[in-house]
């Protein structure tokens, strides 16, 4: 089990963070290599594959969940990240199969149990996207699991 898998509940094929690069205070940076053999490239788009923007956003949200898990480590009670709000998403450049991206998230403030965050992705020296989002960290209550 990887360090990422120890911190968040996401698993392949819906895990879009490969490793943690750095963590300082309220900021965490992670890395993801978008592999050409991933199934979604077969349909997005045949003959001209491009990484879906929604999956790029998901990699930011998962990186935010990793940051929250680290910030809450040792506080007991467990918890899972719940995406509460997404806003001001800006896509600047596409990501193609084989590219490695750096994902950075920052917790800006906490209000009433909601953690306001900003995130960005870069591929090399080009900015891929920016997004503002909010996460709630909740202990699972009455959740039925099948796995």
List 10, 23, 44, 115, catalytic entry: 44
Integer angstrom CA distances of residue 53 from 23, 96, 113 = 25, 11, 28
Active site residue 23: no
Nearest to 67 by CA among 119, 113, 32, 102: 119
Six-digit token string for 43: 């349909």
Secondary structure string (H, E, C) spanning 46-111: CCCCCCCHHHHHHHHHHHHHHHHHHHHCCCCCCCEEEEEEEEEEEECCCCCCCCEEEEEEEEEEEE
Compute, in degrees rounded to 10, the torsion defined by CA atoms 103, 15, 53, 21.
Answer: 10
Active-site annotation, residues: 44
């Amino acid at each position: 089990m990887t360090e990422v898998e120890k911190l968040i509940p996401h698993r392949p094929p819906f895990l879009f963070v490969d490793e943690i690069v750095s963590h300082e205070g309220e900021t965490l940076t992670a890395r993801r290599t978008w592999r050409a053999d991933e199934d979604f490239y077969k349909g997005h788009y045949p003959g001209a594959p491009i990484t879906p923007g929604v999956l790029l956003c998901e990699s930011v949200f998962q990186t935010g969940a990793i940051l929250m898990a680290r910030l809450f480590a040792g506080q007991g009670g467990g918890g899972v990240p719940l995406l509460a709000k997404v806003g001001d998403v800006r896509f600047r450049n596409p990501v193609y199969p084989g590219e490695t991206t750096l994902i950075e998230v920052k917790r800006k403030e906490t209000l009433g149990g909601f953690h306001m965050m900003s995130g960005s992705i870069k591929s090399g020296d080009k900015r891929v996207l920016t997004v503002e989002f909010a996460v709630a960290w909740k202990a699972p209550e009455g959740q039925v699991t099948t796995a």
